[in-house]
Amino acid sequence: MNLDEALLAFITESKDLLDRMEEALLQIEQHPDDAEIINAIFRAAHTIKGSAGIFGLSGIVAFTHVAENVLDEVRKGHIRFDADLANLFLAVGDHIHALIGLLADGHEADAARLAHGAALVERLEAVLGHPAAADATPADTRTLTETPEGGCADTEHWHISLRFGRDTIREGFDPLSFVRYLTTLGEIAHIVTLTDNVPALSDLDPDECHLGFEIRFRSDADKAAIEGAFEFVQADSFVRILPPRSHIRDYKALIDALPESELKLGEILLRCGTLTRAELDAALDDQTVASLEGRPVEPLGALLVERAQVHPEVVNAALAKQSKVREASRGTDTNLLRVDAAKLDHLIDLVGELIIAGAGAHLVARGHKAKDLMQATSAVMRLMEEVRDSALNLRMVQIAGTFNRFQRVVRDVSQELGKDIALQISGAETELDKTVVEKLADPLTHLVRNAMDHGIEGAERRAAAGKPVQGTVRLHAFHEAGQVVIEVSDDGGGLSKERILSKGIERGLVTPDAALSDKEIYNLVFQPGFSTAEQISKLSGRGVGMDVVKRAINALRGTIDLRSTEGVGTTVCIRLPLTLAIIDGFLMGVGKSAYVVPLSMVVECIEMSRLQTDGKDWLDLRGEVLPLVRLRELYNIAGDPGRRQNVVVVQGSGKRVGLVVDQLMGELQTVIKPLGKVFQQVRGIGGFTILGNGSVALLLDVPNLVTQVADANARSLGEEAHNAPSSLLHTS
Amino acid sequence: MSKPLVIEGELTVFTAHALKAQLMQALADAGPALQLELSGVSEVDGAGVQLLLATLREARQRGAALDLIAAPPQLTEALRLIDVAGEFAGRATPETEPVA
């Protein structure tokens, strides 16, 4: 693992930890004294600080350090975790998040960010009861000597921990030479070689390095000079250098970071003379934290009993609790594997190719009428489909991650609005494609904010309507018929049909005499241009209307619907395909070309001869005008149309058009591939797929096509459109 | 007690593989104690020290003892540098004391 990869892992891990911290912070308001939640918060800060230290990210270390101090006081029961503190820590979490975000983008924190951090540090210091030191950075442990853990170690020596990387020798370095070099910088007061890490001879690869040292070092050199000694091995090896008189806490962090057991390390530090027994005891006082992190706790337990400080029963109980915690976290965390999404995509891509190739083989076998071969290929096909399903499954993630983010959104927004609103989440275990989940965050945020801002009424109005004063926003997800359904609902005032309709008429979206169903009226809010000035507030305004939400959902090949009962509430229902990589398609032929549309968008198929109206580009479909798109003309396909043509009625962006094609070729399940860069400007084509016989079929981008046609019709059909207004606005 | 294994020349990463095979064989033959005669060692590095540490561990696992005999100055310097000389001194007798 090179440094960049390690840093990347740190960034990902930290973001995870921050998410967990936020989750815990949101819980703590209800349970301010729950030790486990407090520990979870502490652990997140602690781990981030520790890892950031390894990378020398002093800004993050410094900031997190202060936060950790406060949390430590909380854990000790000196400070209570009230709502104000939770608020402060949410801000702290955001700030760390921002710092890590900057790191990920390779930017430095700017002055504003730093000032923000300093302000937070000041608030944290105030909580601690320290006056904010004017010039000292919070990283400077000397300003923190009053923390109850006993302050700084009383030693004039540096302490250096070295664990060489496996490849150190192979890369041409001699571990001894580093120690020798140290002797030129100062004097090695004591060195302990971790001989236990060296395997027995039969297990030893003599090229691998298993050596590690703990060194107490006397030197007048500065840290940079000492660090410089290990510059060449720093990437692969573990090097920690603690200056003289470091804070006990830092020694503790060192013990935590090293792979050996705490007790052993503690003894080594004693042997080195770096710490005194009392100082070590102070450091190991933090043991609870470490054991919650999944380290073996037995040695400590034994130690405590030995020293007759604790009754065995108490230790046993504590150990049982800790191992339970460990078990639980193991269940969720350690069985997971982080894989680069690109690798996964590549695998799915290959599986897609494999299926296509397999289908081709099957076709050839059929062509040769070789029965045994056909049998063999069908068996292979079946297996390949299973492989495909499990490969696609790899991309599936629970929507819980996205849903839980809204706890914070709802909390913040309700504070901003001064409304009391609770969030209810159900079906969070529902799985869907990772890409879809990621792209859902924005539209969902908009919907939730919208529900809170416009949906839920103020407290008086709620009370007057006989509703509970606390409003509720619900996020609900479930699987239905091969789709994922996500509902965002509120128990607010609902939408007034009359007002929507009148606004729709006012905006020119419908004509006054149009007969629209309730559903059609509600779905007017998704029309571009419906969002009005009076609707834009600080929160949900932002110039983004529901039409943008709808477009985002459509881009995921999903649909969005709204239903509402006045006075009772509103529910927005989003339906999404399980995955983007594979679709159920409907195959159509024009001349020698083949086209695919997503099956979910096909409304019906009509035989053309019966209804044929020559030359017209619309069709009277049970009294409604259906614009026609002749694919033969649209794509300039040579040859004459056959005598019998078919119309495939498709629906996209809430409008319907009829696609005129030669042949209906039935359903297929297919892997969609994106078009190359050259074709990215082509409108109306969403991708392509390779058919079993090796030929290419283009995937029609129905919403885009429909919009194109609607625009063209609106221009050319001016008069006609007026006579049949609902045709262009046929929502369903 | 079998004859001491005589190691000569480099005790470094370049000879470690060959020495490992020799040492394994010697351990198999040695019985309760293996003696390494090191007076001919000309050069030592970290890989060499690690090899000795691994041999010691292997010997202990087999219940055997390991004695270093007549270690030259460059070896004792290396062992003292990282303070592992004591590891090999368990059964040190005046005769087997490293010749410093």
Question: Which residue ranges make up each domain of chain B?
Answer: 5-89
Mutation choice for A interface testing from B14, B36, B82, B87 by most A CBs within 10 A: B82
Q: Which CATH class is domain A397-577?
A: alpha beta
In this complex, which of A176, A203, A209 lies closest to B82 when CB atoms are compared?
Answer: A176
Q: Which CATH class is domain B5-89?
A: alpha beta
In this complex, which of B23, B78, B82 lies closest to A213 when CB atoms are compared?
Answer: B82
The label of the residue with tokens 């402060």 reads A88
- Predicted pLDDT of residue A476: 92
| CA-based nearest residue in chain B for residue A171 | B13
Range 197-226 of A in CB contact (< 8 A) with B: 198-204, 206-207, 209-211, 213
Asked if the C-beta of B37 comes within 8 angstroms of chain A's C-beta atoms, the answer is: no
Tokens found for residue A322 = 């800790």
| CA-based nearest residue in chain B for residue A207 | B13
Asked if the C-beta of A357 comes within 8 angstroms of chain B's C-beta atoms, the answer is: no
Nearest to A292 by CA among A322, A336, A333: A322
Name the minimum distance, in Å, from the CA of A349 to any CA of chain B. Answer: 45
In this complex, which of A179, A191, A198 lies closest to B54 when CB atoms are compared?
Answer: A198
Sheet architecture: strand order including A569-577: A421-426, A471-480, A483-490, A569-577, A559-565
Element (H, E) at A298: helix A298-306
In this complex, which of B49, B58, B87 lies closest to A201 when CB atoms are compared?
Answer: B58
Please provide residue A395's backbone torsions phi and psi, each rounded to the nearest 5 degrees.
-85, -10
In this complex, which of B13, B16, B61 lies closest to A200 when CB atoms are compared?
Answer: B61
Tokens found for residue A420 = 């009391």
Chain B hits for A200, Cβ within 8 Å: 54, 57-58, 61
The label of the residue with tokens 């809204």 reads A406
What's the CA gap between A237 and A234, in Å, rounded?
5
**DSSP helix/strand/coil, A161:** strand
Chain B hits for A177, Cβ within 8 Å: 45-46
| CA-based nearest residue in chain A for residue B17 | A206
- Predicted pLDDT of residue A315: 45
Contact yes or no for B13 and A177 at CB 8 A: no
Chain A hits for B50, Cβ within 8 Å: 169, 175, 198, 204, 206, 209-211
In this complex, which of A200, A201, A211 lies closest to B46 when CB atoms are compared?
Answer: A211
Q: In chain B, what is the straight-line distance between the N-terminal and C-terminal CA atoms, in Å?
A: 25
| CA-based nearest residue in chain B for residue A198 | B54
What's the CA gap between A136 and A16, in Å, rounded?
31
What's the CA gap between A308 and A552, in Å, rounded?
65
- Predicted pLDDT of residue A283: 64
Contact yes or no for A200 and B57 at CB 8 A: yes
Asked if the C-beta of B50 comes within 8 angstroms of chain A's C-beta atoms, the answer is: yes
Contact yes or no for B57 and A201 at CB 8 A: yes
Chain B hits for A204, Cβ within 8 Å: 20, 50-51, 54
List the Cα angle A126/A131/A132 in 5-degree steps: 85
- Predicted pLDDT of residue A536: 42
Burial of residue A280, with CB atoms counted within 10 A of its CB: 0-12 exposed, 13-18 middle, 19 or more buried: buried
Superfamily of domain A3-144: HPT domain (1.20.120.160)
pLDDT digits (tens, 9 = 90+) for B40-76: 888 888 899 999 999 988 888 888 888 888 888 888 8
Chain A hits for B24, Cβ within 8 Å: 201-202
Contact yes or no for A179 and B82 at CB 8 A: yes
Chain B hits for A210, Cβ within 8 Å: 50
- Predicted pLDDT of residue A318: 47
Domain borders along chain A are 3-144, 158-295, 341-391, 397-577, 582-729
Asked if the C-beta of B55 comes within 8 angstroms of chain A's C-beta atoms, the answer is: yes
Chain A hits for B58, Cβ within 8 Å: 200-202
Percent of chain B with pLDDT over 70: 86
For chain A, give the longest Cα–Cα distance: 100
Contact yes or no for B83 and A176 at CB 8 A: no
Contact yes or no for B82 and A180 at CB 8 A: no
pLDDT digits (tens, 9 = 90+) for A42-100: 888 888 887 787 777 778 888 888 888 888 888 777 888 877 888 888 888 888 888 88
Name the minimum distance, in Å, from the CA of A179 to any CA of chain B. Answer: 8
Say what the alpha-carbon torsion angle A307, A311, A315, A316 is, to the nearest 10 degrees. Answer: 130
Residues of chain A with pLDDT under 50: 1, 131-150, 288-315, 318-319, 321-322, 324-332, 533-543, 718-732
For chain B, give the longest Cα–Cα distance: 32
Name the minimum distance, in Å, from the CA of B59 to any CA of chain A. Answer: 8
Radius of gyration of chain A from its Cα atoms, rounded to whole angstroms: 33
Name the minimum distance, in Å, from the CA of B46 to any CA of chain A. Answer: 5
Asked if the C-beta of A77 comes within 8 angstroms of chain B's C-beta atoms, the answer is: no
What's the CA gap between A87 and A348, in Å, rounded?
43
- Predicted pLDDT of residue A482: 66
Name the minimum distance, in Å, from the CA of B81 to any CA of chain A. Answer: 8
Q: Which CATH class is domain A582-729?
A: mainly beta
In this complex, which of A195, A204, A211 lies closest to B87 when CB atoms are compared?
Answer: A195
In this complex, which of B17, B47, B83 lies closest to A193 when CB atoms are compared?
Answer: B83
DSSP string, A139-190: T-GGGGTTSTTT-B---SSEEEEEE--TTTTTTT--HHHHHHHHHHHEEEEE
In this complex, which of B20, B27, B61 lies closest to A206 when CB atoms are compared?
Answer: B20
Range 119-178 of A in CB contact (< 8 A) with B: 169, 174-177
Q: Are A237 and A230 in contact (CB under 8 A)?
A: yes
Chain A hits for B45, Cβ within 8 Å: 174, 176-177
Chain A hits for B16, Cβ within 8 Å: 206-207
Nearest to A55 by CA among A2, A116, A128, A118: A2
pLDDT digits (tens, 9 = 90+) for A143-196: 333 333 446 666 778 888 888 888 888 877 888 888 888 888 888 888 888 888
Contact yes or no for B24 and A201 at CB 8 A: yes
